[in-house]
C-alpha cells in the first residue's frame, strides 16, 4: 500500500446526543485495554440529559450490570446481560482483530518508509539516546523501532524505559528482549499507568528527559488527553521527537463515533478520539508536528452472520462488550450492523465487507 498524502485537518468533536431513544451512559472500567494492550484507567464524561430515563451501573472488576429505559419506549440500548470485556477476553478479541486486519502491516510500512528519517536527528550526536515507551504492551513494536534507531545511531548507547502496568505484558516483553540480538541497549520497566508515572515524576520532582517518546494507540484510555500529551512533551530533550499513533479522522471508527454513536452500547467505555482531535490539542499548545496517514483495512464480513465465532470476536472488539452478538438487544445489534455497512465506514471488495481502520502517525517536535 502506498501512504496517503500528508494533510492538515482540524476537527472539533461535537457533544454526543440522545438519538433513537438511547440514553448513553459512561462506564468506568478499572483496566480495559487500548489497542496496543496497555491497561490504563479511564474516565469518560457523561454529557447527556438522562432525567427521563433510569439507569443502573454496577462496576466490579469489569462486571457491569446496565439497565437503561428509553424515554420513548423504544428498544433499550443495553441489557442486563451485557458487560465490558475482561483483560483476557479483550486479548482474544484483539488477536482476532490483528489476524483479520492490516494494522501491523500498516505500522511496518511506516517503520520502513518514514521512521528512519524521523529518528535520524535524535540526540544531535549524543553518545546516549534515551527512549520512553508509554503503554508498550509486550514490546513488539518497541523492539522494531529500537532496531531502526540502532541502525541510524550505531555508536550510541540506547537506554529504553517502558511504562506498562500489565505484569503479564512486562514478562512477555522481557522474554522478547532475552531472545533478541540487540546490543548496547538497556531496558527499564515501570509497572505503572501513564498517569501514575506522571504523578510520581511530579511528586518526586524527578528530572526525566528523553530523546524519543512514543504513545501508540493508548490515548483512548487516559483521563485527560491534553494533559497527558503536554506532560510527555515536557519530557523531551532538545532535538527530540514525540510519536503518537492513533486512528485517523478518516477512518471508519471516526464515522462510527461521530455519526453512529447511538448505535454503540453503553458498555463501550473509553474516549472516542482520533487524530483530528489530537491535532486540535497540539495546535492549541502551539506545537509543531507532521502527520503521516496510512490506509489500513479490517475484514468484518463475519460480524453480519449470527453465530459466527470470528464475527463474535469482531463485534466484541468493536463494542468493547463481551458476547455482544448474543447479549445485545436485537434493535441495537441491527442498528450497529447497518451503521457498519455504510460506505463512510466500510466498502465491499470481492464480496467481503472491509472496514476502514486507517491510522495516523503524528510526529511532534520538541
Q: Would you give per-residue pLDDT tens digits along the chain (366 residues)?
A: 333 444 444 333 343 333 333 322 222 233 333 333 333 333 233 333 333 333 333 333 333 333 333 434 444 455 668 888 887 888 889 889 999 999 999 999 999 999 999 999 998 889 999 999 999 989 999 999 999 999 999 999 999 999 999 898 999 999 999 999 999 999 999 999 999 999 999 999 888 999 999 999 999 888 899 999 999 999 999 999 999 999 999 999 999 888 888 888 776 656 789 999 999 999 999 999 999 999 999 999 999 999 999 999 999 999 989 999 999 999 999 999 999 999 999 999 999 999 999 999 999 999
Place of cell 517502558: 162
Provide the 3-class DSSP secondary structure of residue 351: coil
Residues 6 or more apart whose CB falls under 8 angstroms from that of 176 comprise 138, 139, 140, 143
- Cα–Cα distances (Å) from 340 to 211, 288, 296, 297, in that order, read 40, 35, 16, 13
Residues 6 or more apart whose CB falls under 8 angstroms from that of 135 comprise 34, 36, 37, 38, 40, 163, 164, 194, 215, 216, 217, 218
Contact 146, 214 (CB under 8 A): no
Q: What is the pLDDT of residue 9?
A: 40
Q: What's the CA gap between 254 and 250, in Å, rounded? A: 6
Sheet holding 236-247, edge to edge: 185-190, 157-163, 128-134, 210-216, 236-247, 359-365, 289-294
Residue 137: alpha-carbon gap to chain centroid: 12
Q: What's the CA gap between 249 and 230, in Å, rounded? A: 21
Q: What's the CA gap between 105 and 298, in Å, rounded? A: 12
Amino acid at each position: 500500500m502506498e501512504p496517503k498524502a500528508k494533510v492538515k485537518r482540524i476537527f472539533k468533536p461535537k457533544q454526543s446526543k440522545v438519538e433513537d431513544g438511547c440514553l448513553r451512559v459512561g462506564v468506568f472500567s478499572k483496566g480495559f485495554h487500548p489497542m496496543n494492550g496497555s491497561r490504563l484507567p479511564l474516565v469518560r464524561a457523561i454529557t447527556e440529559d438522562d432525567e427521563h430515563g433510569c439507569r443502573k451501573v454496577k462496576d466490579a472488576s469489569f462486571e457491569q450490570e446496565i439497565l437503561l429505559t428509553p424515554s420513548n419506549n423504544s428498544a433499550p440500548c443495553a441489557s442486563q446481560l451485557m458487560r465490558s470485556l475482561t483483560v483476557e477476553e479483550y486479548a482474544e478479541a484483539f488477536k482476532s482483530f490483528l489476524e483479520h486486519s492490516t494494522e501491523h502491516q500498516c505500522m511496518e510500512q511506516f517503520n520502513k518508509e518514514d521512521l528512519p528519517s524521523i529518528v535520524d536527528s535524535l540526540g544531535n550526536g549524543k553518545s546516549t539516546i534515551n527512549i520512553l515507551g508509554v503503554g508498550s504492551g509486550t514490546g513488539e513494536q518497541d523492539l522494531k523501532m529500537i532496531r531502526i534507531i540502532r541502525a541510524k545511531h550505531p555508536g550510541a548507547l540506547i537506554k529504553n524505559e517502558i511504562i506498562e502496568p500489565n505484569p503479564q505484558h512486562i514478562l512477555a516483553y522481557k522474554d522478547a528482549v532475552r531472545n533478541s540480538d540487540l546490543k548496547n541497549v538497556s531496558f527499564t520497566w515501570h509497572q505503572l499507568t501513564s498517569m501514575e508515572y506522571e504523578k510520581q515524576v511530579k511528586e518526586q520532582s524527578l528530572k526525566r528527559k528523553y530523546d524519543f517518546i512514543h504513545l501508540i494507540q493508548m490515548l483512548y484510555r487516559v483521563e485527560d488527553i491534553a494533559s497527558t500529551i503536554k506532560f510527555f512533551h515536557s519530557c523531551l530533550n532538545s532535538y527530540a521527537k514525540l510519536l503518537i499513533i492513533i486512528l485517523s479522522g478518516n477512518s471508519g471508527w471516526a464515522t462510527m463515533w461521530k455519526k453512529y454513536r447511538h448505535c454503540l452500547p453503553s458498555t463501550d467505555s473509553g474516549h472516542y478520539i482520533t487524530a483530528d482531535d489530537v491535532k486540535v490539542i497540539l495546535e492549541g499548545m502551539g506545537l509543531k508536528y507532521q502527520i503521516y496517514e496510512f490506509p489500513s483495512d479490517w475484514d468484518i464480513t463475519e460480524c453480519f452472520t449470527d453465530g459466527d465465532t470470528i464475527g463474535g470476536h469482531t463485534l466484541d472488539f468493536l463494542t468493547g462488550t463481551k458476547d455482544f452478538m448474543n447479549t445485545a438487544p436485537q434493535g441495537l445489534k441491527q442498528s450497529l450492523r447497518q451503521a457498519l455497512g455504510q460506505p463512510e465506514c466500510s466498502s465491499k471488495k470481492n464480496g467481503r465487507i472491509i472496514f476502514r481502520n486507517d491510522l495516523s502517525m503524528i510526529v511532534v517536535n520538541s
